[in-house]
């Protein structure tokens, strides 16, 4: 890749603008691919030199490079419980599709990052506990392109390894045995049990049996051996374990089990006991487990709940990073910290309530588009995206439109005020989307070329923390089109729209939050409002439908 200041001229067509340039017509943003229109704008403004990146034949542009590496990471995506986002500005994120424990091939990550400084892969720590939708890893191409050979080398390393995967929670049932020392108050026992219940509930594990017995080896052994068969057995002793001959480990052995490890190099959590009764893990919890704060027992419990083997050597390796105690110079480092990034929940609202008045007598959404009604074609293409839900707002001829969508995994909302215009459908859509929605993407039911990959690119560009809270596509012509994604902060403004203008007013009023995603397609501006538009589309798409 060539990079640096170059004179403005036709030779720069296809170059990538490295720094934003403010012009009378607006701002040409960095990362923009320069075409004849952009070159003309620069010349008309008297700009003679700009800083650009020029790709060479041996290069892959940043998004293509990130996509190739993302494909290699996700070669076993279904089994690994991963989802990868579309790529934007050379970045592709990987998210958990299940709650569990993250497994990272640290050596593969190290080798991949050593190939070329242009290519980076960052992950959460190995064995980190993760929840569904949480970001696990991100691929970032540092410059605007990377060597195709280097990308291929990285992909080969990652494809040969399960570089990241989620071990989902497999344990479903557990029992808890608490021991009581002489004079021990019920409140102390109940506090500890509450903390254990909360830990298990957070993992989705049901506590099916609870019992309290004397803090004596024989009594505890009887409880361990005589209880119902469960996936996990937890023992919360009334007194800390300090030796293999102490009550908890001795009771596990007397019940017919064996001890894997006494103690762990994690503080708090040093006094953990890990044993087994047949195939069932038995965890002697340290006293700190009476508190909800993170301790070493959490690391062991999480892995065992996810079906991972925990050996004595695994526990020994927990020493690095195992100092969890809070100190005065670092007050409450685990309280109020930054939340783990998550994949945004995006609701897709398909507006299909209009009367199709400009089409004449026919209702355009019900016309045949390649063997199926237009509204069904559009909906099926949207369902192939990474949007979390699709809601369809119907109005005119709602019965026929509903029938055309029969069997599709969508939620249909009725707009009794459809004749008031598009704004009424937007209001109905916002009332009907999931309360979990971080963003809503407004799409029109008469746009036959909008598809899943386009939707995914818009979702990938959405990042309200970076100011990218409204995302719209640009057609090949450079003109903005549909669908448009709006972050939650704009839901109220969208709900206050009137008439048939749609959401353009919100985009105009909040232009500082708008990010444009350039496409090489006409899809964002092809809509079928009139018979002439339909005929032109059929001519354009002949052989594709």
Strand partners, 484: 442
User: Would you say the pTM of this structure is higher than 0.75?
Assistant: yes
Would the pLDDT of 173 be above 90?
yes
Query: What is the rounded distance in angstroms from the CA atom of residue 342 to the CA atom of residue 209?
Result: 34
What are residue 146's DSSP bridge partners?
Answer: 60
Q: Is 338 helix (H, G, I), strand (E, B) or coil?
A: coil
pLDDT in tens, 345-384: 999 999 999 887 777 667 899 999 888 999 999 999 999 9
Residue 526 confidence class, pLDDT cut points 50, 70, 90: very high
Q: Confidence band (pLDDT; 50, 70, 90) for 37?
A: confident
Position 543 scores a pLDDT of 60
Contact 537, 448 (CB under 8 A): yes
15: left (phi over 0), alpha (psi -120 to 50) or beta: beta
Read off the pLDDT of residues 231-269 as tens digits, 9 standing for 90 and up. 999 999 999 999 999 999 999 999 999 999 999 999 999
> What tokens were used for 516?
């444009």
What is the CB neighbour count within 10 angstroms for residue 45?
15
How is residue 248 written in tokens? Answer: 């908890």
Short-list 540, 542, 532, 539, CA closest to 364: 532
The phi, psi pair for 256, rounded to 5°, reads 105, 10
| Rounded Cα gap, residues 457 and 438, in angstroms | 16
For residues 94 and 137, is the Cβ–Cβ distance under 8 A?
A: yes
Nearest residue to 405 (alpha-carbon basis) of 386, 424, 455, 413: 413
Q: Which of 74, 153, 162, 61 is nearest to 113 (CA)?
A: 153
Is the pLDDT confidence value at 51 over 50? yes
Task: Kindly report, residue by residue over 178-230, the tens digit of the pLDDT.
Answer: 999 999 999 999 999 999 999 999 999 999 999 999 999 999 999 999 988 89
Domains and their CATH numbers in the chain: 2-54 (3.90.105.10), 60-168 (3.90.1170.30), 173-319 (3.40.980.10), 346-541 (3.90.550.10)
Nearest alpha-carbon partner for 394 in 424, 369, 371, 368: 424
Name the nearest CA neighbour of 485 among 498, 468, 465. Answer: 468
How many angstroms separate the first and last alpha carbons of the chain? Answer: 38
Please state, in angstroms and rounded to a whole number, the distance separating the CA atoms of residues 479 and 411.
31
* Sheet arrangement for strand 232-236: 206-214, 173-180, 232-236, 280-285, 273-277, 258-262
Residue 483 CA to residue 447 CA, distance in Å, equals 9
* CA distance linking residue 479 with residue 363, whole number of Å: 27
How many residues make up the chain in this entry?
Answer: 545
Mean pLDDT of 401-430: 94
Is the sign of the CA dihedral 378, 384, 386, 389 positive or negative? positive
Structural tokens at position 511: 């232009």
Nearest Cα neighbor of 112 from 89, 135, 140, 88 is 140
Mean pLDDT of the residues in the chain: 92
Q: What share of the chain is helix, strand, coil (3-state, %, to 5)?
A: 35, 25, 40
Tokens in use for 334? Answer: 């685990």
- Segment (H or E) for 302: helix 296-305
Taking the CA atoms of residue 504, residue 510, residue 511 and residue 514 in that order, the dihedral angle to the nearest 10 degrees is: -90
Q: Show Cβ contacts of residue 1 under 8 Å, excluding neighbours closer than 6 positions.
A: 53, 54, 55, 56, 59, 143, 144, 145
Tens digits of residue pLDDT in 74-124: 877 668 899 999 999 999 999 999 999 999 999 999 999 999 999 999 999
């Amino acid at each position: 890749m060539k990079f640096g200041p170059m004179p403005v001229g036709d030779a720069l067509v296809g170059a990538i603008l490295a720094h934003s340039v403010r012009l009378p017509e607006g701002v040409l943003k960095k990362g923009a691919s320069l075409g004849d229109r952009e070159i003309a704008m620069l010349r008309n403004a008297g700009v003679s030199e700009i800083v650009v990146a020029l790709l060479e034949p041996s290069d892959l542009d940043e998004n293509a490079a990130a996509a190739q590496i993302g494909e290699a990471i996700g070669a076993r995506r279904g089994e690994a419980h991963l989802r990868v986002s579309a790529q934007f500005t050379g970045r592709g994120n990987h998210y958990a599709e299940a709650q569990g424990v993250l497994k990272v091939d640290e050596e593969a990550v190290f080798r991949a990052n050593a190939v070329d400084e242009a290519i980076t892969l960052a992950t959460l720590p190995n064995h980190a506990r993760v929840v569904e939708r949480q970001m696990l890893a991100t691929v970032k191409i540092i410059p605007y392109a990377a060597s195709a050979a280097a990308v291929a080398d990285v992909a080969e390393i990652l494809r040969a390894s399960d570089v990241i995967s989620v071990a989902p929670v497999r344990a479903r049932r557990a029992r808890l045995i608490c021991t009581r020392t002489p004079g021990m108050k019920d409140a102390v026992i109940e506090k500890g049990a509450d903390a254990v219940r909360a830990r298990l509930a957070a993992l989705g594990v049901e506590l099916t049996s609870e019992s309290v017995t004397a803090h004596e080896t024989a009594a505890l052994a009887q409880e361990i051996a005589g209880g119902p068969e469960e996936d996990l057995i937890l023992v919360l002793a009334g007194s800390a374990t300090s030796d293999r001959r102490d009550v908890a480990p001795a009771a596990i052995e007397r019940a017919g089990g064996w001890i894997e490890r006494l103690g762990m190099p994690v503080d708090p959590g040093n006094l953990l006991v890990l044993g087994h009764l047949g195939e069932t893990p038995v965890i002697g919890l340290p006293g700190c487990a009476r508190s909800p704060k993170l301790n070493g027992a959490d690391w062991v419990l999480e892995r065992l709940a996810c079906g991972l083997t925990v050996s004595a050597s695994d526990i020994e390796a927990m020493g690095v990073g195992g100092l969890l105690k809070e100190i005065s110079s670092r007050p409450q480092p685990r309280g109020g910290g930054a939340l783990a990034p998550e994949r945004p929940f995006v609701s897709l609202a398909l507006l299909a309530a209009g009367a199709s008045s400009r089409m004449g007598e026919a209702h355009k959404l019900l016309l045949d588009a390649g063997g199926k009604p237009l509204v069904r074609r559009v909906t099926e293409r949207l369902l192939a995206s990474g949007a979390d839900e699709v809601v369809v707002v119907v109005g005119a001829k709602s019965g026929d439109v509903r029938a055309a969508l029969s069997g599709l995994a969508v939620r249909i909302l009725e707009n009794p005020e459809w004749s008031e215009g598009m704004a009424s459908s937007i209001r109905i859509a916002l009332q009907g989307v999931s309360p979990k929605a971080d963003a809503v993407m407004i799409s029109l039911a008469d746009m036959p070329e909008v598809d899943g990959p386009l939707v995914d690119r818009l979702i990938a560009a959405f990042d309200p923390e970076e100011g990218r809270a409204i995302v719209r596509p640009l057609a090949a012509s450079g003109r903005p089109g549909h669908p448009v994604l709006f972050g939650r902060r704009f839901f109220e403004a969208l709900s206050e729209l009137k008439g048939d203008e749609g959401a353009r007013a919100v985009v105009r009023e909040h232009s500082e939050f708008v990010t444009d995603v350039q496409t090489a397609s006409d899809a964002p501006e092809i809509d079928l409002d009139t018979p002439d538009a339909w005929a032109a589309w059929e001519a354009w798409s002949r052989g594709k439908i």
